[in-house]
Amino acid sequence: MAQLCIEGLTAEVAGREILHGIDLVVGSGEVHAVMGPNGSGKSTLSHVLMGKPGYTVTGGSVTLDGIDLLALSTWERAQAGLFLAMQYPVEVPGVSLEDLLTEALAGAGRDVTVVHAAVAAEAERIGLATRLLDRPVNVDLSGGEKKRNETMQLAVLRPRFAILDELDSGLDVDALRACARRIEAATTEFDLGVLAITHYTRLLDELKPDVVHILVKGRIVESGGPEMADALETTGYAAWVTDDDSTDAPLAAADPFADPFA
């Protein structure tokens, strides 16, 4: 069984530390939910894992089956088996979905002749209209269509581990169910390990977590079974958020020479 192993991960954005030491181990076929309020570092965690420019890792390690992911560029991480379903999938004008997936598979030395059929089959399974497949990547897609598209690409690329960054934001309940079911099925179909980063519990109605982690202020403050998500549903994050945490600290100490109109 492969493992995505995060140890003592600290990271900063624009000189400010956002992640203060994250420890997580996700095994193949497992679903881990990372839940937290706004500003807890959820998106930073997903971006850092995929190597997005602008985020600096200051300590700790991330390995996939023993491979040091932090030493790799973004595309190498993807080829090592990591996938990030983005919260806001980017529109890429003029680039077709099939070209993208063909280049992705070709880069990993995989069979590209299957792309067309795999896209068609997965799109049907996820309920992504065929007419949308000819559009440039994400261009003019609705929120729900974009998330179905992310899930469709995940299913075609068959990574070993997928990070879902707020997959449940900006989509209707039907799209959410379709995406969650497809990913749940992937955990048995190709033993996909999932790190589902989310604010709300509704994603977890269809995508059953094995472990739930509560992320607050850049730290995992508690981990437990799926029942923790149920508790969150009724109590919210109040139990983990102290008064001191309830308002975000200022980005930086006030600069007495700062332009007051900036």
Partner 1 sequence: MTPSDAPPASPIWFEHWRTAASTRLGEPVLPSTDEEVWRYSPIAELDLTSWTAPTRDDGSGVPAGALAVLDTIDDPAAVVVVRNGFVVHHEMSAVWADRGVYVGPIVDAPETATPQELLGSVAADGPDVFATINDVTVIDPLLVWVPAGVSVDQPIVIIDWIDADDVIVAPRLIVRLGANAEAKVLEWHGSDDVAAFVTSLVELDLAHAARLGFGSVQQRGPRIWQVASQVSRVAADATLDSAQVALGADYGRTRTDCRLVGRGATGNLRAVYFGVGRQTLDFRTFQQHAAPDTTSNLLFKGVVDDHSKSVYTGLIKVEKDARGTNAYQTNRNIKLSEHAWAESVPNLEIETNDVRCSHASTVGPIDEEQRFYLESRGVRTDVAERLIVAGFFDEVLEEFPVPGVVPLIASAIEDRLDRRSEA
| 92 counts as binding partner 1 under rule CB under 8 A | yes
Determine contact, residues 207/183, Cβ cutoff 8 Å.
yes
Query: Residue 135 carries which side chain, given as an amino acid letter?
Result: R
Q: Nearer to partner 1 by C-beta: 49 or 232?
A: 49
Contact with partner 1 (CB under 8 A): which of 8, 93, 224, 225?
93
Is 136 a binder of partner 1 (CB under 8 A)? yes
DSSP tag of 54? T
CB closer to partner 1, 52 vs 202: 52
Q: Which of residues 3-42 bind partner 1 (CB under 8 A)?
A: none
Number of residues that bind partner 1 (CB under 8 A): 30
Site for partner 1 in 44-73 (CB under 8 A): 50, 52-53, 73
DSSP track, 173-185 = HHHHHHHHHHHHH
Residue 95 binds partner 1 (CB under 8 A) = yes
Q: Does 98 bind partner 1 (CB under 8 A)?
A: no
In angstroms, rounded to a whole number, what is the distance separating the alpha carbons of residues 59 and 10?
A: 5
Runs of H (alpha helix) within 86-222: 97-107, 115-126, 143-157, 173-189
* By CB under 8 A, residue 151 contacts partner 1: no
90 binds partner 1 (CB under 8 A): yes
In angstroms, what is the minimal distance from the CB of 175 to partner 1? 20
Which residues have C-beta within 8 Å of that of residue 81, sequence separation ≥ 6? 2, 64, 65, 159, 160, 161
β-pairing, 211-216 with 219-224? Answer: antiparallel
Q: Which residues bind partner 1 (CB under 8 A)?
A: 50, 52-53, 73-75, 78-79, 83-84, 86, 89-95, 99-101, 103-105, 107-108, 136-137, 153, 157
